[in-house]
Amino acid sequence: MSSISLRKLNKTYGALTVVHDIDLEIDDKEFIILVGPSGCGKSTTLRMIAGLEEISGGELVIGGDMVNDVPSKDRDIAMVFQNYALYPHMTVYKNMAFGLQLRKAPRDVIEQKVHEAARILDITHLLNRKPKALSGGQRQRVALGRAMVRNPAVFLLDEPLSNLDAKLRGTMRAEITKLHKRLDATFIYVTHDQIEAMTMADRIVVMSDGRIQQVDTPQNLYDRPINMFVAGFIGAPQMNMLPSVIERRGERYVAVFNGRDLPLPAHVDQSRIVPYVGKDIVVGIRPENFHELPPADIDPANMAPFEAVVDLAEPMGSEIHLNITVGEHALTVRVSPRFKAAIGSPAKLVVDTTNMQLFDKETQRSILY
Amino acid sequence: MQWLREMWTKEGPGISKNAPKKTGLALFGQTMAREGWEMVKLNILFILAALFIVTIPAAVAATARICLTHVEDRNTYLLRDFCEAFTRYFWRATAWGLGFGAAIGLGAYAVITYAAIARDNVLLVLPLMTAVVVTVFLGVLACHLLVLMVMRNLPALTLLRLAAIASFMRPLPVMAAMLFVAALWLAHILLYPVSVFMPAAFNFSLGMFAIVFSAHRAAETVLDLPPEPTRSDLKPEAGQAKHI
């Protein structure tokens, strides 16, 4: 069993609290990712789990045992660092074997485990080489191999792909996901890259300012963000935030943004909307919910015309990211690569409000959930 | 001090799995460059192990064993593996060392003696050349036997037989290696005292690496030969076969 419980876990440096009373349950064999901007406390949390940082308060339970004061080497965990942390004077084989040697494992066991890990990671041809000859991706595999040979219950990965180029990052993402399924262990992964989080995780923990904002599956985080921070952090390009006012139009409610009526979808719980009628709120609409023409599969009751001025067109190949302006507000929308719009000219678009998000302007929390 | 850190952390060129492997002198140079520092440490270990003189053959065998792992591109823990090889091969290496030492010594004595007399008697050139060839062959045989001994555990006669086959099959690479070793020591002598560091740094280990590298292919080939059939392998009617 390698389930992990963080109970009111906190970390302070003098008067400064960097992690505020985190409560988190991680299931056995789960792939969970801590994501957030730099300085949000995700790496500190990971290091507390690893035992590299002293826990200031709260409890850390691994496999049913409280491990607050247990040394790192006795926690049955293995860590992969952002900068790989390979011993430069040792060959790849010796780097991978080092942990087992410290544990006085028999020589034949070390040999077998190292070769097995090398075979899985396809680095058998590198075993007698030193890290300085290896590329970043190869070093990362060696760091993974060094963690694997110990057969730990929990793998901790601290931004392992951040030093790699974009193409290699894509390859290694898939490798790590496959590795998780193969090893059948718990993976706790830290990253600031929300694409890594969305593509790899069973669940994502979004953190900000030392606090957990939301814990959920990637799709739920994308479709049902609990506050403006999560809504803006998850998704690229990020969600457009439109200051609006809720008004009633007969049987339906609309959000009025800069003179434009954005109909609220019928499935929204109206009891949550009623207290906000006439009040300022923030409407969140994702860039892909703007279209050149009304899509045939969308309920026309959830469509509204949306005219704006084109500021900038960023062709991405498969689509165009259009920066548009509505009054003083700048938005980003995704349109097809065939969309023709000159800079400074008006663009007649249609907005689909089916997945529109509504946020309380004061608390920034979602009104809908 | 970024340059100091980057010396260790800078990303390398990477090693392609499918790149064509170097062969011959290119491979020798590549391995030498990669394992250079290990060879310096190995040289020091050899000197320490050979200090007692009687331990020279065992130290030679242990050095050969380590050089074999370099040639075969396998991982080695230098001190641990050297000590293990030293104890494992001590008696065998000592016995073969004494035997070949005596034989080569006798051959060298014959060469010197015939060379001295042949100046006055041209007829003695033939025995002189014979002595030279036999002495050189004994040297080549000794090199192949050493490499085979550290590659595989074999009975003494089998070892000698396979070493002889390897020596007849590919004598030139080992002879080139022996010339390389001679050149190393010649350079040390000629450039002395500037070259005083050479024996301490790499003469022994680099020389042994050259010998193991040159003998390795022949050793692999003879070890792949099918074993001699024993009496029990022969069919019952084989004893009655008649030559036509």
Flag if B74 and A128 touch (Cβ within 8 Å). Answer: yes
- Are the C-beta atoms of A85 and A143 separated by less than 8 Å? yes
3-class SS of residue B22: coil
The pLDDT confidence band at residue A218, using thresholds 50, 70 and 90, is: very high
**Residue A165, pLDDT score:** 87
pLDDT digits (tens, 9 = 90+) for A318-328: 999 999 999 89
Cα–Cα distance for residue pair A175/A163, rounded to 1 Å: 16
Instruction: Give the tens place of pLDDT for each residue, B169-190.
Output: 999 999 999 999 999 999 999 9
pLDDT average, residue stretch A185-210: 94
- Going by C-alpha positions, the residue among A152, A288, A208, A177 that lies closest to residue A35 is A208
All residues of chain A having their beta carbon less than 8 Å from the beta carbon of residue B75 are 91, 93-94, 127-128
Q: pLDDT averaged over chain A? A: 93
Residues of A in contact with B11 (CB under 8 A): 134-136, 139
Task: Give the class (CATH, top level) of A240-360.
Answer: mainly beta
Q: Nearest by CB to B9, which of A83, A133, A137?
A: A83
Can you tell me the mean pLDDT for A173-178? 91
Q: Is B106's pLDDT higher than 70?
A: yes
Residue B243 has pLDDT above 70, yes or no: no
Task: Give yes or no for a contact between B75 and B69, defined as CB atoms under 8 angstroms apart.
Answer: yes
pLDDT band for A282, please (50, 70, 90 cuts).
very high
Residue type, B225: L
Domain ranges of chain A: 4-233, 240-360
Task: Read off the pLDDT of each residue in A24-31 and give the average, rounded to a whole number.
Answer: 95
Q: What does the pLDDT read at residue B240?
A: 53
Assign B232 a pLDDT band (cuts: 50, 70, 90). low
Q: pLDDT tens across A66-107, in order?
A: 999 999 988 989 999 988 889 999 999 999 999 999 989 999
pLDDT bin (cut points 50, 70, 90) of residue A134 is: very high
Instruction: Tell which wins on pLDDT, A198 or A251.
Output: A198
ipTM over 0.85: no
Q: What residues of chain A lie within 8 A of the CB of B15, using their CB?
A: 125-126, 129, 133-135, 138
Q: Using the beta-carbon criterion (under 8 Å), do B17 and A125 form an inter-chain contact?
A: yes
| Residues from chain B contacting residue A135 (CB–CB below 8 Å) | 11-15
Q: Which residue in the set B8, B11, B75 is minimally distant from A127, CB to CB?
A: B75
Backbone angles phi, psi at B231, to 5 degrees: -55, -40
For the entire predicted model, the pTM comes to: 0.83
On the question of pLDDT at B105 being above 80, the answer is yes
SS3 for B192?
Answer: coil
Q: Between chains, do A128 and B11 touch, taking CB under 8 Å as contact?
A: no
Cβ contact, residue pair B15, A136, below 8 Å: no
pLDDT at B228: 62
Tell me the per-residue pLDDT of B187-224, one tens digit each, with 9 for 90 and over: 999 998 888 888 989 999 999 999 999 999 999 999 98
How confident is the model at residue B118, as a pLDDT?
86
Check if CATH label 3.40.50.300 holds for domain A4-233: yes
The neighbouring-strand residues paired with A358 are: A283
Q: Is the pLDDT of residue A242 over 60?
A: yes
Nearest Cα residue in chain B from A140: B11
Contacts of B74 in chain A (CB under 8 A): 128
Task: Inform me whether the pLDDT recorded for A275 exceeds 80.
Answer: yes
Rounded to an integer, what distance in angstroms lies between the CA atom of residue A107 and that of residue A94? Answer: 12
Cα angle, residue A38 at apex, residues A37 and A40 outer, rounded to 5°: 75
**How many helices (DSSP H) and strands (DSSP E) are in chain A?**
9, 20
Check pLDDT > 90 for residue A339: no
Among the listed residues B97, B19, B29, B27, the one whose alpha carbon sits nearest the alpha carbon of residue B58: B97
Best mutation target among B6, B75, B76, B80 (most A Cβ atoms within 10 Å) is B75
How many whole angstroms separate alpha carbon A248 and alpha carbon B16? 66
Q: Is the pLDDT of residue B241 over 60?
A: no
Which one of A87, A127, A135 makes the best mutation probe of the B interface by having the most chain B beta carbons within 10 Å? A135
Q: What is the pLDDT of residue B123?
A: 84
Residues of B in contact with A93 (CB under 8 A): 75
Nearest CA in chain B to A138: B14
Q: Is the pLDDT of residue A53 over 60?
A: yes
Q: Between these two residues, A22 and B1, which has the higher pLDDT value?
A: A22
Average pLDDT, integer, range B142-154: 96
Rounded to the nearest angstrom, the minimum Cα separation between A141 and chain B is 12
User: Which of B190, B191, B184 has the alpha carbon at shortest distance from B211?
Assistant: B184
B2-33 per-position pLDDT tens digit: 677 776 677 788 888 888 889 999 999 999 99
> What is the structure's pLDDT at A46?
96
Work out the average pLDDT over A257-286.
92
Nearest to B214 by CA among B179, B183, B185: B179
Question: What's the pLDDT at A350?
Answer: 94
Share of chain A above pLDDT 70, in %: 100
Q: Where are the domains of chain B?
A: 32-223
